[in-house]
């Protein structure tokens, strides 16, 4: 066992000496591997960061949460022309489901409207995200009100002019003053601030509840009307914990079909979108992005591998005389083989580590420039980059190492003279 360790040590020392004696050639050789590892790990890190940010933005919602609307979260087999004829969900349907669904924890009617300007005295904020929802939205998304309260069922049903604002809205309009009970102007009406949400930071596309204003949906319904195609209404439904989600979805579907009078032989004219299905869709998309990125980056790594193999063959030719002398002095084929294999692996490993370091630097810089969006270089990706670069070095160096170990000592000395 000791003799093998000694062979490994001497082979390693020979490899390091050969690399340091040919700095320019070493640099050019590892450049290809550096670019390849940088490309592969950079793609994996970017996709991982994107996936983490998307899932983090919906982490407050339970995977069993259901979105009932005329649009589908993912691909659909229903032709587009037919989907465009689907009616919007209505407030009456929300009330019916809220009363009749078994195992229901909470349901909320939601409208998607455009941004507005909110004013308070001489201050105003434009492009504020308006979130018109019924009162149970608080329980579905598990909002955290740090000051004041959320509006109740009575205020929601009556469409009272009340509002819950994000942290940034409160700070920009009121500064250090307590905003609870203050009046702001929206839609040409005066709204009373009831509560302020906990700061959560920017989301994937820069939007978050920090810059949002949540208002009773019935107030906004009076402004936009019930047949406005630009409000994109939805019913958000959350079942009780432990409920069989498949059975619950079937119950939602059956009741809405009955309410709409859809016949047995007719298809659903609505979509029951599960949040779990959305996360699965995200996993599928990011998986495909990873595969495509790996395929493209693999070509860079392949070029780097060929570069190492080429340099190793040159190295064998240059050191033919030395190999002959080593073998004539009793060096075994294993020693010569390990010597060149170590040289190839070390060369590739150094290139890979430089590539990982570059990814790390760029991820730090990118995180600084993109604010709350964090680029991550996971330990798994670091380990993968190290492993891949080692394997590339091993594969690239195996043929040159074998050819060097099989040289006849007499012929090797004569060739080198």
Note the pLDDT tens digit of each residue in 118-174: 998 888 999 899 999 999 999 888 788 999 999 999 999 999 999 999 999 999 998
pLDDT at 417: 52
> Residue 26's beta-bridge partner residues?
none
Secondary structure of residue 56 in the 3-state scheme: helix
Percent of the chain past pLDDT 70, that is, above it, reads: 80
Instruction: Name which of 41, 40, 32, 15 is nearest 346 in CA terms.
Output: 15
pLDDT at 336: 77
List all residues 6 or more positions away from 191 whose beta carbon is below 8 Å from its beta carbon.
161, 162, 163, 183, 184, 185, 215
Q: How far apart are alpha carbons 299 and 293 in whole angstroms?
A: 10
CA distances from 305 to 22, 33, 91, 311, 327 (A): 18, 7, 63, 10, 28
Percent of the chain past pLDDT 90, that is, above it, reads: 26
Indicate the DSSP class of residue 86.
P
Q: How many CB atoms lie within 10 A of CB 364?
A: 11
Q: How far apart are alpha carbons 347 and 345 in whole angstroms?
A: 5
**pLDDT tens track for 368-405:** 665 555 677 777 777 877 888 788 888 888 888 888 77
CA distances from 248 to 89, 100, 363 (A): 18, 12, 43
pLDDT at 116: 92
pLDDT at 62: 58
Q: How confident is the model at residue 19 (pLDDT cuts 50, 70, 90)?
A: low
Task: Please state, rounded to an integer, the average pLDDT across all residues of the chain.
Answer: 80
């Amino acid at each position: 066992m000791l003799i093998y360790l000694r062979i490994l040590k001497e082979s390693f020392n020979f490899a390091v000496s050969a690399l340091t004696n040919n700095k320019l050639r070493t640099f050019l050789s590892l450049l290809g591997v550096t670019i390849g590892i940088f490309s592969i790990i950079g793609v994996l890190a970017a996709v991982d960061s994107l996936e983490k940010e998307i899932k983090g933005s919906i982490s407050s919602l339970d995977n069993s949460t259901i979105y009932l609307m005329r649009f589908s979260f993912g691909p659909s087999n229903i032709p587009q022309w037919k989907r465009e004829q689907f009616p919007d969900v209505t407030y009456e349907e929300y009330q019916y489901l809220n009363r009749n669904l078994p195992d229901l924890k909470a349901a909320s009617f939601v409208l998607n409207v455009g941004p507005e300007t909110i004013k308070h005295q001489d201050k105003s904020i434009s492009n504020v995200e308006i979130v018109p929802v019924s009162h149970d939205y608080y329980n579905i998304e598990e909002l955290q009100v740090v000051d004041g309260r959320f509006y109740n069922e009575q205020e929601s049903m009556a469409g009272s002019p009340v509002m819950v604002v994000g942290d940034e809205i409160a700070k920009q309009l009121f500064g250090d003053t307590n905003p609870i009970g203050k009046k702001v102007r929206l839609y040409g009406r005066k709204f009373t601030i009831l509560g302020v949400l906990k700061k959560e930071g920017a989301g994937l596309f820069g939007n978050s509840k920090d810059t949002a204003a949540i208002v009773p949906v019935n107030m906004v319904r009076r402004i936009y009307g019930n047949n406005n195609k630009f409000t994109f209404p939805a019913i958000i439904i959350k079942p009780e914990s432990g409920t069989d989600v498949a059975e619950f979805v079937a119950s939602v579907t059956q009741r809405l079909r009955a309410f709409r009078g859809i016949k047995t032989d007719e298809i659903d004219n609505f979509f029951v979108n599960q949040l779990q299905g959305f996360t699965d869709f995200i996993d599928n998309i990011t998986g495909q992005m990873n595969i495509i990125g790996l395929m493209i980056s693999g070509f860079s790594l392949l070029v780097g591998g060929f570069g190492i193999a080429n340099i190793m063959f040159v190295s064998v030719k240059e050191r033919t005389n030395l190999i002959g002398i080593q073998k004539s002095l009793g060096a075994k084929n294993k020693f010569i083989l390990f010597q060149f294999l170590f040289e190839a692996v070390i060369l590739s490993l150094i290139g890979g580590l430089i590539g990982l370091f570059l990814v790390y630097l760029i991820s730090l810089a990118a995180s600084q420039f993109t604010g709350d969006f964090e680029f991550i270089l996971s330990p798994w990706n670091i380990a993968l980059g190290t492993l891949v670069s080692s394997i590339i070095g091993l594969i690239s160096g195996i043929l040159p190492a074998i050819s060097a170990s099989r040289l006849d000592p007499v012929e090797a000395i004569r060739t080198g003279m």
